[in-house]
Structure 1
């Protein structure tokens, strides 16, 4: 039951605090975005909090707001008050919830960005009706949110589930986390580029589009361009997408052996290319899961809410907190 103000269900603000931009939205109780604000992400902690303050006050000037939710790509304490560490943000052991609540004069809650997006998809999007739900946000790396019995699972210390750094290849590609062979090094936008370059080197005559891209701008290849080349029939790009689909199936089978979800939602920047890989990934997953052919399989769907999911989920979690 949402908090009500003057006979109306309260509006809340959800903010996706990314490494390059702050995206804020006013969200109603039906998950609809009514207004938004965008600003670059400052580099220092003080400047970041000043920027968040300005974004909230800009929206509060146009709407009556009851609370704020922040979706952050980082480790959040179980009580959702403190950012322990965020690799692309300046906060370290920062009591962000308390500090911003004091500044704004309203409740502020924190949530991991993938958890916030998973909650949004569960309440209003592709995960509606699921029971045990896994949301994979596949972009530069892999973020994941998990709902068990309809409740967000954060683990004992607030950092679960860190699925992108599960090892899928012993001695494989080095990862920024310090390990080798992490899932996200084979199944992400960054991985698409690495795989395409490896396949180009091994099969230079098989590509026309990607070969021209790399020759013209060796450092400019992106996962989006690889997907576009695959759509246009480039053989190396198509082989790259097939390899991506295989690794997505490998990882989903492994995760399903542990959590046995009934629904998986694929989100993030790579989700826009789902028609190029999702059917193949489903096939690999169905073959590789333990007990293949003798157990129900999870439904695997692309996101419905897209890039707005983190903001919508953070706002809805703030509303839930107010109503508790």
Structure 2
């Protein structure tokens, strides 16, 4: 634990970028550095991460580093076992490699868990118990805080809410299973719904297509969000669809976990109430306790895309 200065480094490893930041005990980022994520040898990715850490550590007195990465983690938090977006790091002992390269203490954590801790300590989840985090981006991740502790689980995979099956025999998922929530309620699902609707009725897609390059393949989440804010029927229907599925998933989690608050993060929550409203409506309709107990509060995350970095830096500092 870094009691001398209350500073630690957080590293967020994504498929295209490595973002590092020096974080204080209030969750504020006081310095940062960004680099591209190498796509070939995983050792090069480790070297880039180490370079970011060394640069930040040369400017600030730190002894702990937290590293946030998507994928299924080993229970001992030494390795990322599987990650289709950064497969060159699969099986590499990231923890040990970085400790040897930097000379600092390293804490490795799943990105959904890291974001959950960040929102619990410094964001929309403060003072809630239990707290469930659902991150809705390209895929779906999450994390669970119970009694002010991050739940890891018996085998290190607690919080993988995107891979709970919600439809028997449904769409094939990147994890190899079928019917995962991620296939129906993620950013990828949002784009799939919209692209399919426009392909079937091209005349209705003019406003969304105009926001991109004019092609169906070029439609991105930001275009859909912008169109939804302008009242576009296809965009609104797509958000209603993923909100419906998220509500179904959250109702199932709530029946088991009984969270006080559910924090929705990730890029798709930029849509705000356009997404939150159908989630809340679906949750109410699918909850078995709706007539006898209060529903968990569903709120938007506050820390944006820095939640994972801030959260994992704090985990490294206090662990």
Shorter-chain-normalised TM-score: which range?
over 0.9
**Residue equivalent to 1:127:** 125
**Residue equivalent to 1:302:** 300
> How far, CA to CA, are the matches of 1:95 and 1:126 in structure 2?
33
> How far, CA to CA, are the matches of 1:211 and 1:110 in structure 2?
41
Q: Given the alignment, which residue of 51, 57, 62 partners 2:59?
A: 62
**Residue equivalent to 2:31:** 35
Unpaired runs of 5+ residues, structure 1, are: none
**Residue equivalent to 2:230:** 232
| 1:251 aligns to 2:249 (yes or no) | yes
**Residue equivalent to 1:162:** 160
| 1:17 aligns to 2:16 (yes or no) | no
> How far, CA to CA, are the matches of 1:209 and 1:289 in structure 2?
36
Q: Deviations over 1:5-48 (max 9, x none)?
A: 3xxx3311000011110000000111110000000011211101
Contact 2:2–2:8 at 8 Å: present in 1 too?
A: no
Cα displacement (A) at 1:107 = 0.4
> How far, CA to CA, are the matches of 2:307 and 2:145 in structure 1?
15
**Residue equivalent to 1:110:** 108
Of residues 172-181 and 119-128 in structure 1, the stretch that sits farther from structure 2 once superposed is: 172-181
Contact 1:10–1:66 at 8 Å: present in 2 too?
A: no
**Residue equivalent to 2:137:** 139
**Residue equivalent to 2:148:** 150
Cα displacement (A) at 1:215 = 8.7
Contact 1:250–1:284 at 8 Å: present in 2 too?
A: yes
Contact 2:209–2:215 at 8 Å: present in 1 too?
A: no
Of residues 293-302 and 168-177 in structure 1, the stretch that sits farther from structure 2 once superposed is: 168-177
Q: Deviations over 1:143-186 (max 9, x none)?
A: 11111222111121111222212222223323222233221111
| 1:4 aligns to 2:37 (yes or no) | no
Contact 1:207–1:235 at 8 Å: present in 2 too?
A: no
Q: Given the alignment, which residue of 267, 270, 277 partners 2:268?
A: 270
Unpaired runs of 5+ residues, structure 2, are: none
Change (3 A) 1:280 1:86: closer
**Residue equivalent to 2:44:** 47
Contact 2:2–2:64 at 8 Å: present in 1 too?
A: no
Q: Given the alignment, which residue of 289, 292, 309 partners 1:311?
A: 309
Contact 1:190–1:222 at 8 Å: present in 2 too?
A: no
> How far, CA to CA, are the matches of 1:201 and 1:168 in structure 2?
26
Change (3 A) 1:113 1:214: closer
> How far, CA to CA, are the matches of 1:310 and 1:144 in structure 2?
11
Contact 1:267–1:306 at 8 Å: present in 2 too?
A: yes
**Residue equivalent to 2:239:** 241
| 1:87 aligns to 2:84 (yes or no) | yes
| 1:208 aligns to 2:214 (yes or no) | no
Contact 2:37–2:45 at 8 Å: present in 1 too?
A: yes
In the comparison of the two structures, how many residue pairs are matched? 317
> How far, CA to CA, are the matches of 1:154 and 1:127 in structure 2?
18
> How far, CA to CA, are the matches of 1:37 and 1:105 in structure 2?
19
> How far, CA to CA, are the matches of 1:180 and 1:133 in structure 2?
27
Q: Deviations over 1:263-285 (max 9, x none)?
A: 10000000111221212211210
